[in-house]
Structure 1
Amino acid sequence: MNLQLAKSYQAEAAIPAYRLVKFGSADDRVVPGTASTDLLIGVTTDIGAAIGERCDVQFAEIAMVEAGAAITRGTMITSDAVGRAVAAAPAAGVNSRVVGFALESATAAGDVIRFMQSIGQIQG
């Protein structure tokens, strides 16, 4: 594993595969994203983790993510309440953390799509 692109963390909650994550209570721990305002850091790989297990988090390049709703390719994405990708659409004056943009469209929640990681923030 190239540590510049992915790192192993301890899961503080159950984290399914292909979910967006944020830091947990310590530097070496992660939890699923729960809102578009979370400080998201990356996405889990194809293997999920139970509480206390290790999980790999990818930070850069093209990755896979589970959609939480329909997404059109090219759309900037963020986290829903359970770490799935949704279109970033913050209300006026609200900041939203984005993890990148969809390279493929999702037709419904549960679809796993490719996205280009580019973490940043947008304001509505």
Structure 2
Amino acid sequence: MKLGFIKGYKPDTDIPPFRIVAYGATPGSVKLAANGKAILKGVTGNLVSNAGEMSDVISTGIGCIEYGTNVNYGQCLTADKHGRGIPAKATDNIIGYAEQSGVEGDVGDVYLQITNQPAT
């Protein structure tokens, strides 16, 4: 993993490793991103992020994501209901691009290029 910008945040709830996170309920907090609609913040590292404890969130560079379905190299990714990476639809917020193909449960590299759609 080649890391870019990493910052500490306090998760609102426990978050598994290699998951996509979004802005949390309070300043300085994050929550598990879900279903492509949350305003995305970054990805967690290889440790469980415990609620209320400082945890690293990777926002730029290359991070790792657990895949929630089949993913192909180069696909735009967003979050499923468990914060895992899945191919994005046109209206989803994007965390980045798959740097390798994989299947559900694989952990793959993602080139982080966070693109949050304008609020409607």
For normalisation by structure 1, the TM-score amounts to 0.86
Letter paired with 1:114: D
Q: CA RMSD in A?
A: 1.4
Alignment of 1:100 with 2:96, yes or no, is yes
Structure 2 stretches of 5 or more lacking a match? none
Q: Percent identity?
A: 28
Mapping for residues 28-67 of structure 1, pairs under 5 Å: 28-67=28-67
Q: Could you tell me how far apart the structure 1 residues matched to 2:54 and 2:11 are?
A: 6
Letter paired with 1:33: A
May I ask how many residue pairs the two structures share in their alignment? Answer: 114
Runs of 4+ that moved beyond 2 A: none
Task: Name 2:112's counterpart in structure 1.
Answer: 117
Structure 1 stretches of 5 or more lacking a match? none
Q: Could you tell me how far apart the structure 1 residues matched to 2:49 and 2:109 are?
A: 21
**Corresponding residue SS for 1:96:** coil
For normalisation by structure 2, the TM-score amounts to 0.89
Q: Could you tell me how far apart the structure 2 residues matched to 1:118 and 1:51 are?
A: 26
CA radius of gyration, larger in: 1
